[in-house]
Amino acid sequence: MFCILRYNEQQRNVSYVPDRFEASDVVLRPDGLIIYVVFDNTILIGAFCTPLATRTMNCTDKLLYWSNNTFNKAKSEFEGITYNSLQDTYFIVQETIPSTNTPGVYNSKIFEIQIAKDHSFPSIRLIQSCKVNWTFDSSSKGFEGLQFMTHHKMGKSYLLALCEANKCTVQTAHNHSINVVGHGKLIVLEKHEAIHNGESTVSFQEKQFFFPILLDPCLWVSVGIVNLPSDLEFVDYSAVSTYSQNSLIYIAVTSQENSQVWIGTIEEIDQSPYFRITPSNRSSVYNIPQIIGNGNTCETQYCNIEGVAWVNENQLVLVSDQEKATQGVVCSFKDESIHYFLIPNVKESMATYPSYCSSLLLFLTLYTIFYFPSH
């Protein structure tokens, strides 16, 4: 079925509606009724009703706008979104921005926003936007995912930023050799407030929203690196999400190139990088369902998975980007879409890592391509 995003009455005078929706990440609202989707081609955010919402309330899928209408036409380069459970806000990561100091060098930027629960217009309020002190050598291979983490023992909070490329360098981005894969990294970020004239700066004018600024209200500082398992042979990394159950924290990491999801566990530690991947009997790489192609070969159909979020301990929701011009027609059937999957018991599956046509992720349901009606 088509997933139709409707407008609030106040939105009818908004002239800008994107002609495509390159989904880049997804997050579940704490009440489980709404999922928010960010796109890398627009700063507008999609609000979609979950199956739970459609059964329990009158819910409508919507396109959410920012308070300053000038920004609503901007290309975002947003690649990750995560919920801040301490402040009831959301963090969004912008993949890269040009460095203000060094040509050919790029940083990322973290946005903290608040979303109106009733989705009134405008729905999104910018709280803060701050640079990350991590550099990249390419504008297209930066951070691809973001996860908010609370370190309970230390009483601190961090962000885990997922590098798209192995070793976090562009040179490895399309290198499939055995020496390159297996070097996935999560950069642990801690927020440092900027001090100016003896006072902490906590906000800035929204007119500076998408432009390099000399005076950020804060800086996200790298305080450690969490290495993903060396036997996780992903060519790239496209999204990250965690889920807490009792004393365990499950972590899911997706790969667009491999069309797979890895699930493991992560725990707190007392020293940098403050988190580490731990062994688990549930740890495994799950194939996103493939199809049988010509010559009985396996063929990828979920070619553009860019976002992942946990619904519960046995269910994931994934979102997919727009099909690339170089990809086959089969990729167009699942692009710009929302997908729900169940995670089976590994012993119940007929496939094992690295890759077979039979899928480890069981198809549950699918919202088809995003579509926006005219005013």
Q: Supply the pLDDT for residue 241.
A: 98
pLDDT mean across residues, the chain? 82
How far apart CA 149 and CA 221 sit, in angstroms, is 15
Answer whether residue 204 shows pLDDT above 60. no
Q: Is 139 exposed, middle or buried (0-12, 13-18, 19+ CB in 10 A)?
A: middle
- pLDDT higher than threshold 80 for residue 12: no
**Does residue 322 register a pLDDT over 60?**
yes
Residue 77: left (phi > 0), alpha (psi -120 to 50), or beta?
left
Residue 10 has pLDDT above 90, yes or no: no
Q: What is the CATH number of the domain that holds 172?
A: 2.120.10
Distance CA 126, CA 217 (A): 13
Residue 336 lies in a domain: no
Hey, what amino acid is at 99?
Answer: S
pLDDT beyond 50 at 201: no
Q: Quick check: is 84 in a domain? A: yes
Give the whole-number percent of the chain exceeding pLDDT 90: 50
Please state, in angstroms and rounded to a whole number, the distance separating the CA atoms of residues 119 and 107.
31
Q: Which residues contact 372 (CB under 8 A, 6 or more apart)?
A: 4, 5, 17, 18, 63
Contact 351, 361 (CB under 8 A): no
Residues 164, 113, 319, CA angle at the centre, nearest 5°?
A: 45
pLDDT digits (tens, 9 = 90+) for 38-78: 999 999 999 999 988 877 788 889 999 998 777 777 788 99
312 occurs within a structural domain: no
Q: How far apart are CA 163 and CA 173, in angstroms?
A: 10
pLDDT band of 15, cuts 50, 70, 90: low
Residue 209: band (very low, low, confident or very high) from pLDDT cuts 50, 70, 90 = very low
- Out of 111-115, 176-180, 326-330, 352-356, pick the least confident: 352-356
Give the residue-averaged pLDDT of 174-200: 75
Q: pLDDT at position 354, please?
A: 40
Confidence of residue 297 (pLDDT cuts 50, 70, 90): confident
pLDDT at 296: 75
313 domain-assigned: no
Structural domain contains residue 371: no
Residues 186 and 226 sit within 8 Å (Cβ to Cβ): yes
Mean pLDDT of all residues in 316-331: 88
Domain that holds residue 122: 3-288
Domain annotation covers residue 131: yes
Query: Tens digits of per-residue pLDDT, 253-296?
Result: 999 999 999 999 999 999 999 999 998 877 889 889 888 777 77
Mean pLDDT value of segment 221-230: 96
pLDDT at residue 351 tops 70: no
> How far, in Å, CA of 150 to CA of 143, rounded?
20
5-9, 58-62, 367-371: lowest mean pLDDT where?
5-9
Rounded to whole angstroms, the Cα distance separating 108 from 49 reads 30
Token pair listed for 80? 């990750």
pLDDT of residue 169: 84
| pLDDT at position 148 over 90 | yes
The stretch 17-35 carries a mean pLDDT of 92
3-class SS of residue 146: strand
365 pLDDT higher than 60 = no
Query: Quick check: is 61 in a domain?
Result: yes
- Examine residue 353 and state whether it is found in any structural domain, yes or no: no
The residue that leads in pLDDT, 125 or 359, is 125
260 vs 371, residue with greater confidence: 260
In total, how many domains does the chain have? 1
pLDDT-derived band at 359, boundaries 50, 70, 90: low
Report how far residue 25's alpha carbon sits from residue 33's, in angstroms, rounded to the nearest whole number. 17
Are 81 and 146 in contact by the 8 Å Cβ rule? The answer is: yes
What is this structure's pTM? Answer: 0.86
Long-range contacts of 54-58 (CB under 8 A, 24+ apart): 57/33
Query: Could you tell me which residue, 202 or 31, shows the higher pLDDT?
Result: 31
